[in-house]
């Protein structure tokens, strides 16, 4: 239970950082297959699905609410080390993926799947510099519909390993406004500001509904792909995982780095790899 809450927290933190994929974190920690199965069989296997999803959802929500400001602070103060920590968390998932394809011959289609999704992630990262202007989140019917659609898009990309939902939100111009709205909502809850809470819900509820709809739709598609073309799916995910560190480094400019910064960055990288291996150590089963 506690371990799954921690895994959910890692996913939650990843989903609020542009360039880092919550789906990749789930793969790295060995829970991706289980999450997809639980979502797509929520109604037919409700008790078992909730047993899987509830601790992960608790971790995600706690991380987004409690850690959003800390993560922003870490990226402001120690951006190099923080980015390498997440790169380590991502790379720690490669051994588990290697086991999924071990013993199978590598075909042209597998190589193409790897290349296609590698290029997809790197291409998205290259678009980061062309992000749209900050979106208008004032309450209106039109904005509510827009937020519903943006929620669907964001959640779909959050579920796909290697694709950063936060990065997509940034490109669309919704990342900073939505993050600010979440922090504002937390502040209003602390103050018991009912009017402020209701106003924030007018923005966050449509977005949240879109997120839920998007997760269900994309999870079903992913389940079908895993069922019919498992090796292609795993090679595509390996491409996404390998590309993610490249995308993260592309989206950040660190400037000149001192010896101390590099050494602590390497340490953060190692911590990330070890943490990912430990979190995924008990979750070796899944689609084969």
What mean pLDDT is reported for the chain?
81
Averaged over 142-167, what is the pLDDT? 77
The pTM for the full model equals 0.64
Q: Is 38 exposed, middle or buried (0-12, 13-18, 19+ CB in 10 A)?
A: buried
pLDDT of residue 51: 92
Residues 230, 232, 233, 235, CA torsion sign? positive
Distance CA 195, CA 149 (A): 26
Question: pLDDT-derived band of residue 283, with 50, 70 and 90 as boundaries?
Answer: very low
Distance CA 216, CA 201 (A): 22
177-195 pLDDT per residue, tens? 887 888 888 889 989 999 9
List phi, psi (to 5°) of 233. -65, -45
What DSSP assignment string belongs to 228-272? Answer: H-HHHHHHHHHHHHHHHHHHHHHT----S--HHHHHHHHHHHHHH
pLDDT of residue 50: 92
CB 235 within 8 A of CB 110: yes
First to last CA, the chain: 25
Domain ranges of the chain: 2-280
162-173 pLDDT per residue, tens? 666 776 776 667
């Amino acid at each position: 239970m506690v371990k799954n809450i921690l895994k959910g927290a890692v996913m939650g933190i990843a989903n609020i950082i542009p360039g880092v994929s919550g789906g990749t974190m789930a793969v790295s920690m060995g829970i991706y297959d289980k999450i997809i199965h639980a979502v797509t069989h929520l109604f037919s296997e409700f008790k078992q699905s909730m047993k899987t999803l509830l601790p992960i959802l608790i971790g995600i929500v706690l991380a987004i609410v409690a850690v959003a400001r800390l993560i922003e602070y870490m990226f402001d103060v120690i951006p190099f080390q923080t980015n390498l920590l997440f790169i380590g968390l991502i790379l720690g998932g490669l051994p588990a993926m290697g086991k999924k394809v071990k013993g199978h011959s590598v075909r042209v289609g597998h190589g193409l799947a790897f290349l296609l999704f590698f290029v997809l992630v790197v291409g998205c990262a290259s678009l980061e510099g062309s992000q749209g202007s900050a979106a208008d989140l004032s309450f209106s019917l039109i904005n509510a519909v827009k937020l519903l659609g943006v929620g669907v898009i964001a959640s779909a990309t959050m579920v796909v390993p290697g694709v950063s939902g936060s990065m997509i939100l940034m490109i669309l111009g919704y990342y900073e406004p939505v993050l600010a709205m979440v922090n504002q909502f937390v502040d209003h809850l602390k103050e018991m500001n009912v009017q402020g809470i209701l106003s924030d819900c007018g923005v966050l509820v449509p977005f949240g509904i879109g997120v839920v709809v998007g997760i269900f739709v994309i999870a079903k598609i992913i389940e079908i792909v895993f069922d019919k073309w498992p090796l292609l799916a795993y090679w595509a995910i390996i491409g996404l995982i390998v590309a993610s560190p490249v995308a993260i480094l592309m989206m950040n400019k660190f400037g000149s780095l001192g010896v101390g910064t590099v050494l602590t960055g390497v340490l953060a990288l190692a911590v990330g790899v070890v943490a990912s291996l430990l979190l995924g150590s008990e979750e070796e089963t899944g689609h084969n």
